[in-house]
Structure formats: structure tokens, C-alpha cells
Amino acid sequence: AVVSTQSTGAHGDDKGKLVAIVDVIDQNRALVDGPCSGVGRKDINFKALHLTPFTIPIAHSARSGAVRKAWEKAEVTKKWSESTWAKKLASREKRSQLSDFDRFKLMKAKQARNRIINIEFGKLRNAARKAKK
Amino acid sequence: MRFKCAELKEYQIVGKPLSKTNEKTPIYKMRIFAPDEIVAKSRFWYFLRQLKKVRKVNGEILRMTLVSNSSPTKIKNFGIWVRYDSRSGSHNMYREYRDVSTTGAVTQCYRDMAARHRARAHSIQIMKVEEVKAGDCKRPIIKQMHNSTLKFPLPHRILKYNKKSIFVAERPSTMQ
């Protein structure tokens, strides 16, 4: 049983949620269940799934209760939120939600950071120039 | 709105011929797969007319119920007995499909018949649909899924949602 994220516009409200692949229907579809992420058990096309490296030990076609137990025992939601993938998704989401004021604040924060970096860089560059001479 | 590409619905239709002399007439029940009620009723009379001496004019539908999915979260193997008209004659077929619902399997059957045999819906008659146990399945395509340690890759993965890179400098990789 592999955990995967759902990532398409087709299943709009379930987009980006974590589900576990409980069984395989045929070459194109899987039976998925996401008891800990609010997704009901359903059949879904593999094209709408992105496999994650997390797995939970459940028997094929295990019931939702068993899936939930194994999920919570393996702490999948916690491990997922700590992964770089999830963090990237979260930051992408946040960036798309920024208001104009937020973007202004972001610009100013980037400016401040780059100033510090460039000052240090300038110091190093001048030191290197002096060392050359 | 009803879409042709949506899944069919299963109806249980009960009808009987009307009698002019008030005597009891036999009642017939049919299992019809149709996209909506109107087509369901039409197909009911179409089949009943072929099987019994009843016509829509001389009959009435007593009950039409939409049969809902009994277990939409359990994967089942379906055996479907079909009769279809090809360009040069009428043939019987037994086909197997793996799906979560009867209506899903029957819809698959229609799509499959159209694809493999160019059979249009009007020339297909679903004679029987039955859930088949894994051990009794005959088709290797279905039997290959009856493997508890099933493993297969998803090769040449094309992600449709990727709208940000319509035009790219280099060919994208489709390896997973």
C-alpha cells in the first residue's frame, strides 16, 4: 500500500490530499482511501495520483478502519509534512495566496537580505583585490 | 444534464400488458442499463416486444426503480454476456471487466465493444451481468490483476496538468 498525493484539477476539492492506494482495479485505476485526510474511498485513475515514497503495511482491499490505524501508526501525515516535497507545495501555495501588500513586504525583505549579502561580497572582493596587488 | 460519456445507470423496470377483459396478465421484470429514465423505458419496451407479445401501446410500466450501487468501495470482477450485431451478422459474446460497480462494468463494456468491434450502442444487447469470483474468471487480462503482490510501472508518464511548460527548450523527461 503506497501513499500518494492526488494532484489534478479533475478532482478539484480533493486536490493535493494524501491518500493510500488500497488496491488496484486495472491497469489505469486504483482504489484509494484517505481516512486521515478526509477523502472517501473511491476509484481513481493513476494519472491523477503522484506516488510518494511513504508506504503503510496494509493488506490489499483493507477496510478504512485498518487503513486509518496503519496510517496513524506509521505517522504518515507527520512525515509527509516534514518532507521537502510537501514544504515546496506549501510554499507554492502560500506564494499564490499573497496579497499586493505581502508581495511588497516580500520585496523589501529580499532587498534587505541581498544588501547584507552584497556588502559581505564586496568586502571579500576588495580583500581579494588587495591580496592580488 | 445528461452526458453520453457519463456512466450508465441500472434500472429495474416492471411492466405488464394491459388486458381489455380485466383478466390477470403476467408481469415482467427487466434489468436495464441506460443513461436516463426515458431511454430505460424505451429499451424496456424494445426488449419486451422482442421476447413477448406486448407493445408499449398495449402495456404499462408498473414500476421503475433506479438500482443504486451495492458496494462502491469493493472491487469486483464482472462477467457480461453480450449479443451484438456486426456488419455481417449477430454474435454472442462473453466479456469480463474489473470494476467497482455493475454500471461501471457495463459502461466499460459498451466503450470496449465500440473500440474493439465498432459496435454502436443500438446494436448491443446486454443479456446478463454477473459478479464473478476471482477463481472463475476466464480472461487473462482480468486474471493478471488477481495477484496480491502485483507490481507494474507507469511508463511514459505524461502529466496533463503541467500548464506552465507548454513550450520548452528541451524534451521533458517522462520517466517517473
pLDDT tens for B111-133 read 999 999 999 999 999 999 999 99
Higher-confidence residue: B168 or B30? B30
Q: Which of A9, A25, A46 sits opposite B100 (nearest CB)?
A: A25
pLDDT at residue A9, rounded to an integer? 45
- From B127's Cα to the closest Cα of chain A, the distance in A is 24
For residue B3, pLDDT beyond 70:
no
Average pLDDT value over all residues in chain A = 87
- ipTM of this complex prediction, to 2 decimal places: 0.79
For residue A49, pLDDT beyond 60:
yes
Pairwise CB contact (< 8 Å): A60 & B148: yes
pLDDT at residue A55, rounded to an integer? 87
Pairwise CB contact (< 8 Å): B154 & A46: yes
Q: Which single residue is written with the C-alpha cell 510518494?
A: A52
pLDDT at residue A6, rounded to an integer? 61
pTM: 0.84
Q: Which residue of B has its CA nearest to A61?
A: B74
